[in-house]
Structure 1
Protein backbone atom coordinates (compact mmCIF):
# COMPACT_ATOMS: atom_id res chain seq x y z
CA UNK A 1 0.00 0.00 0.00
CA UNK A 2 1.32 3.45 -0.93
CA UNK A 3 0.95 6.30 1.54
CA UNK A 4 0.87 9.80 0.07
CA UNK A 5 3.35 12.20 1.59
CA UNK A 6 1.98 15.64 2.47
CA UNK A 7 4.91 17.97 3.21
CA UNK A 8 4.49 20.82 5.63
CA UNK A 9 3.39 24.13 4.19
CA UNK A 10 4.85 26.25 6.98
CA UNK A 11 3.66 29.54 5.50
CA UNK A 12 0.02 28.38 5.35
CA UNK A 13 0.26 26.86 8.81
CA UNK A 14 1.59 30.07 10.33
CA UNK A 15 -1.02 32.15 8.49
CA UNK A 16 -3.80 30.00 9.94
CA UNK A 17 -2.31 30.31 13.45
CA UNK A 18 -2.02 34.10 13.10
CA UNK A 19 -5.76 34.34 12.49
CA UNK A 20 -6.19 33.50 16.18
CA UNK A 21 -2.96 34.74 17.76
CA UNK A 22 -2.22 38.09 16.14
CA UNK A 23 -2.66 41.16 18.34
CA UNK A 24 -5.15 42.48 15.80
CA UNK A 25 -7.06 39.18 15.43
CA UNK A 26 -10.82 39.54 15.50
CA UNK A 27 -12.73 36.85 17.41
CA UNK A 28 -14.02 34.33 14.86
CA UNK A 29 -17.68 33.49 14.42
CA UNK A 30 -18.72 30.02 15.63
CA UNK A 31 -18.66 28.76 12.02
CA UNK A 32 -15.22 30.24 11.33
CA UNK A 33 -13.97 28.85 14.64
CA UNK A 34 -15.02 25.34 13.67
CA UNK A 35 -13.22 25.66 10.34
CA UNK A 36 -10.08 27.12 11.95
CA UNK A 37 -10.02 24.40 14.61
CA UNK A 38 -10.25 21.68 11.96
CA UNK A 39 -7.51 23.35 9.91
CA UNK A 40 -5.23 23.62 12.94
CA UNK A 41 -5.81 19.98 13.86
CA UNK A 42 -4.97 19.00 10.28
CA UNK A 43 -1.80 21.10 10.35
CA UNK A 44 -0.73 19.37 13.56
CA UNK A 45 -1.43 15.94 12.06
CA UNK A 46 0.78 16.78 9.07
CA UNK A 47 3.53 18.35 11.20
CA UNK A 48 3.91 15.57 13.78
CA UNK A 49 5.48 12.96 11.47
CA UNK A 50 7.62 15.58 9.71
CA UNK A 51 9.10 16.97 12.93
CA UNK A 52 9.45 13.51 14.44
CA UNK A 53 11.34 12.22 11.40
CA UNK A 54 13.66 15.23 11.42
CA UNK A 55 14.38 14.75 15.14
CA UNK A 56 15.10 11.05 14.71
CA UNK A 57 17.75 11.85 12.08
CA UNK A 58 19.79 13.55 14.82
CA UNK A 59 21.97 11.98 17.49
CA UNK A 60 20.06 10.58 20.44
CA UNK A 61 21.58 13.14 22.82
CA UNK A 62 20.92 16.13 20.52
CA UNK A 63 19.14 18.78 22.59
CA UNK A 64 17.14 20.45 19.77
CA UNK A 65 16.03 16.98 18.65
CA UNK A 66 14.96 16.04 22.17
CA UNK A 67 13.01 19.31 22.47
CA UNK A 68 11.31 18.64 19.14
CA UNK A 69 10.31 15.15 20.28
CA UNK A 70 8.89 16.58 23.49
CA UNK A 71 6.86 19.02 21.39
CA UNK A 72 5.61 16.13 19.24
CA UNK A 73 4.46 14.33 22.38
CA UNK A 74 2.65 17.44 23.58
CA UNK A 75 1.07 17.87 20.13
CA UNK A 76 -0.30 14.33 20.25
CA UNK A 77 -1.81 15.05 23.65
CA UNK A 78 -3.25 18.34 22.40
CA UNK A 79 -5.02 16.53 19.55
CA UNK A 80 -6.92 14.52 22.16
CA UNK A 81 -8.28 17.57 23.96
CA UNK A 82 -11.52 19.47 23.49
CA UNK A 83 -12.76 22.84 24.75
CA UNK A 84 -13.65 22.91 28.45
CA UNK A 85 -17.26 23.74 27.61
CA UNK A 86 -19.45 24.66 24.63
CA UNK A 87 -19.07 28.43 24.86
CA UNK A 88 -17.44 30.52 22.13
CA UNK A 89 -14.70 31.82 24.49
CA UNK A 90 -13.77 28.25 25.50
CA UNK A 91 -13.66 27.24 21.83
CA UNK A 92 -11.46 30.20 20.97
CA UNK A 93 -9.08 29.44 23.86
CA UNK A 94 -8.85 25.82 22.70
CA UNK A 95 -8.15 26.88 19.11
CA UNK A 96 -5.50 29.33 20.33
CA UNK A 97 -3.74 26.48 22.16
CA UNK A 98 -3.81 24.50 18.91
CA UNK A 99 -2.46 27.54 17.03
CA UNK A 100 0.44 27.90 19.48
CA UNK A 101 1.19 24.20 18.99
CA UNK A 102 1.20 24.68 15.21
CA UNK A 103 3.70 27.53 15.60
CA UNK A 104 5.90 25.44 17.91
CA UNK A 105 5.93 22.53 15.46
CA UNK A 106 6.78 24.92 12.60
CA UNK A 107 9.63 26.35 14.68
CA UNK A 108 11.04 22.87 15.32
CA UNK A 109 10.63 21.93 11.65
CA UNK A 110 12.60 24.99 10.60
CA UNK A 111 15.26 24.54 13.31
CA UNK A 112 15.87 20.89 12.42
CA UNK A 113 16.22 21.41 8.67
CA UNK A 114 19.66 20.62 7.35
CA UNK A 115 21.51 23.73 6.24
Structure 2
Protein backbone atom coordinates (compact mmCIF):
# COMPACT_ATOMS: atom_id res chain seq x y z
CA UNK A 1 0.00 0.00 0.00
CA UNK A 2 1.42 3.36 -1.01
CA UNK A 3 0.97 6.53 0.94
CA UNK A 4 -0.14 9.38 -1.23
CA UNK A 5 -0.02 12.08 1.42
CA UNK A 6 3.15 13.83 2.44
CA UNK A 7 4.33 13.82 6.03
CA UNK A 8 2.80 16.67 7.95
CA UNK A 9 5.08 19.60 8.54
CA UNK A 10 5.26 21.18 11.99
CA UNK A 11 3.35 24.15 10.58
CA UNK A 12 0.51 21.90 9.34
CA UNK A 13 -0.04 20.11 12.65
CA UNK A 14 -3.13 20.86 14.67
CA UNK A 15 -1.90 22.82 17.69
CA UNK A 16 -4.60 21.41 19.98
CA UNK A 17 -3.45 18.56 22.23
CA UNK A 18 -5.06 15.17 21.95
CA UNK A 19 -7.55 14.29 24.66
CA UNK A 20 -6.02 10.93 25.46
CA UNK A 21 -7.92 10.64 28.72
CA UNK A 22 -11.19 10.63 26.79
CA UNK A 23 -9.72 8.23 24.24
CA UNK A 24 -8.67 5.80 26.96
CA UNK A 25 -12.05 6.19 28.71
CA UNK A 26 -13.81 5.24 25.49
CA UNK A 27 -11.60 2.17 25.13
CA UNK A 28 -12.13 1.27 28.78
CA UNK A 29 -15.89 1.25 28.19
CA UNK A 30 -15.37 -1.95 26.19
CA UNK A 31 -12.23 -3.42 27.74
CA UNK A 32 -12.81 -3.11 31.48
CA UNK A 33 -13.30 -6.41 33.29
CA UNK A 34 -16.70 -5.27 34.54
CA UNK A 35 -17.80 -3.73 31.22
CA UNK A 36 -21.45 -4.27 30.36
CA UNK A 37 -22.15 -5.22 26.73
CA UNK A 38 -23.28 -2.13 24.84
CA UNK A 39 -26.64 -1.82 23.12
CA UNK A 40 -26.54 -1.78 19.31
CA UNK A 41 -26.94 2.02 19.31
CA UNK A 42 -24.24 2.49 21.93
CA UNK A 43 -21.95 0.11 20.03
CA UNK A 44 -22.30 2.20 16.89
CA UNK A 45 -21.41 5.36 18.81
CA UNK A 46 -18.42 3.69 20.50
CA UNK A 47 -17.16 2.25 17.22
CA UNK A 48 -17.34 5.62 15.49
CA UNK A 49 -15.62 7.34 18.41
CA UNK A 50 -12.82 4.75 18.48
CA UNK A 51 -12.29 5.06 14.72
CA UNK A 52 -12.07 8.83 15.10
CA UNK A 53 -9.57 8.50 17.94
CA UNK A 54 -7.43 6.21 15.81
CA UNK A 55 -7.55 8.59 12.86
CA UNK A 56 -6.24 11.36 15.13
CA UNK A 57 -3.62 9.20 16.83
CA UNK A 58 -2.06 7.46 13.81
CA UNK A 59 -0.44 10.53 12.21
CA UNK A 60 0.71 11.92 15.57
CA UNK A 61 2.35 8.63 16.57
CA UNK A 62 3.82 8.39 13.08
CA UNK A 63 5.35 11.86 13.45
CA UNK A 64 6.78 10.97 16.86
CA UNK A 65 8.28 7.71 15.53
CA UNK A 66 9.76 9.47 12.52
CA UNK A 67 12.06 11.41 14.86
CA UNK A 68 13.81 8.24 16.07
CA UNK A 69 16.70 6.47 14.34
CA UNK A 70 15.71 4.02 11.60
CA UNK A 71 17.01 1.04 13.59
CA UNK A 72 15.29 2.03 16.84
CA UNK A 73 13.22 -0.70 18.50
CA UNK A 74 10.59 1.78 19.81
CA UNK A 75 10.24 3.17 16.28
CA UNK A 76 9.77 -0.32 14.82
CA UNK A 77 7.20 -1.20 17.48
CA UNK A 78 5.27 2.03 16.91
CA UNK A 79 5.28 1.50 13.15
CA UNK A 80 3.95 -2.05 13.60
CA UNK A 81 1.17 -0.68 15.80
CA UNK A 82 0.38 1.99 13.20
CA UNK A 83 0.18 -0.68 10.50
CA UNK A 84 -2.17 -2.78 12.58
CA UNK A 85 -4.33 0.25 13.40
CA UNK A 86 -4.61 1.14 9.71
CA UNK A 87 -5.55 -2.45 8.91
CA UNK A 88 -8.24 -2.41 11.59
CA UNK A 89 -9.59 0.88 10.28
CA UNK A 90 -10.10 -0.86 6.94
CA UNK A 91 -12.18 -3.68 8.41
CA UNK A 92 -15.95 -3.65 8.75
CA UNK A 93 -17.70 -4.92 11.87
CA UNK A 94 -19.53 -8.22 11.65
CA UNK A 95 -23.22 -8.48 10.91
CA UNK A 96 -24.38 -9.21 14.46
CA UNK A 97 -23.95 -7.68 17.91
CA UNK A 98 -21.27 -10.08 19.24
CA UNK A 99 -19.15 -9.62 16.08
CA UNK A 100 -19.59 -5.85 16.29
CA UNK A 101 -18.51 -5.86 19.93
CA UNK A 102 -15.43 -7.96 19.09
CA UNK A 103 -14.56 -5.50 16.30
CA UNK A 104 -14.97 -2.51 18.62
CA UNK A 105 -12.81 -4.21 21.26
CA UNK A 106 -10.01 -4.62 18.72
CA UNK A 107 -10.31 -0.91 17.88
CA UNK A 108 -10.19 -0.09 21.60
CA UNK A 109 -7.00 -2.10 22.04
CA UNK A 110 -5.44 -0.20 19.13
CA UNK A 111 -6.42 3.13 20.70
CA UNK A 112 -4.74 2.12 23.96
CA UNK A 113 -1.64 0.88 22.15
CA UNK A 114 -1.34 4.06 20.10
CA UNK A 115 -1.64 6.18 23.26
CA UNK A 116 1.03 4.02 24.91
CA UNK A 117 3.39 4.41 21.95
CA UNK A 118 2.89 8.15 21.87
CA UNK A 119 3.82 8.38 25.55
CA UNK A 120 6.82 6.09 25.08
CA UNK A 121 8.05 8.06 22.08
CA UNK A 122 7.92 11.32 23.98
CA UNK A 123 5.34 12.82 21.67
CA UNK A 124 2.25 14.60 22.90
CA UNK A 125 1.46 13.32 26.34
CA UNK A 126 -1.86 11.49 26.35
Distance, in Å, in 2 between the alignment partners of 1:54 and 1:3 is: 15
In the TM superposition, what are the counterparts of 1:1-115 in structure 2 within 5 Å?
5=14, 7-83=17-93, 85-113=94-122
Partner of 1:8, secondary structure, is coil
Distance, in Å, in 2 between the alignment partners of 1:4 and 1:63 is: 25
Q: Per residue, is there more helix in 1 or in 2?
A: 1
1:24-57 per-position Cα deviation (integer Å, ceiling 9, x unaligned)? 1000000000000000000000000000000000
How far off is 1:66 after superposition?
1.0
How far off is 1:9 after superposition?
1.5
Residue pair 1:64, 1:112 contacting (<8 A) in 2 also: yes
Distance, in Å, in 1 between the alignment partners of 2:58 and 2:65 is: 11
Alignment gaps of 5+ in structure 1: none
Alignment gaps of 5+ in structure 2: 1-10
TM-score, normalised relative to structure 1: 0.92
1:76-109 per-position Cα deviation (integer Å, ceiling 9, x unaligned)? 11100012x3111000000000000000000000
How far off is 1:8 after superposition?
2.1
**RMSD of the TM alignment (CA)?**
1.5
TM-score, normalised relative to structure 2: 0.84
